[in-house]
Amino acid sequence: MTAEKHSVPHTVRRALTSVPALLYLAVCVALIGWAVAVTAWDSSGESMAGVVPTFATLPLSLIVLALPLPDGPWGFVPLLLVCALVNAVLIGWCARALTGRSGSASRSGSRS
């Protein structure tokens, strides 16, 4: 058997179509949105709401914390979104590898 070689965008698209990856991505986007809303409405400037999405996007968010960040709370949001996207791709890839679904087989095949 020959292994099929796929491009990076094809692999990412296949990984992001798995249910676990989409659920993880939806939860992370909701947490980031919640943290942005709480931080925007907090007049004291001492909101710790950004910690929750940071924990949700571990381990990549630890690498991002080591980078020099822009001033203000809003510079961290795009970085968290990128971390969530990369983690979702990894989750989708693992889910496809563990379930054995290649994504190229027809779903309308007969089941016995």
Quickly list DSSP for 20-48.
HHHHHHHHHHHHHHHHHHHHHH-SSS---
Query: Is residue 15 within 8 Å of residue 64, measured between CB atoms?
Result: no
Q: What is the pLDDT of residue 3?
A: 54
* pTM confidence score: 0.78
Q: Where are the domains of the chain?
A: 21-99
3-state helix, strand, coil in the chain (%, to 5): 60, 0, 40
- Cα distance between residue 92 and residue 101, in whole Å: 11
Query: Is residue 35 within 8 Å of residue 41, measured between CB atoms?
Result: no
pLDDT digit string (tens) for 21-32? Answer: 999 999 999 999
- Cα distance between residue 21 and residue 13, in whole Å: 11
**What does pLDDT average to over the chain?**
84
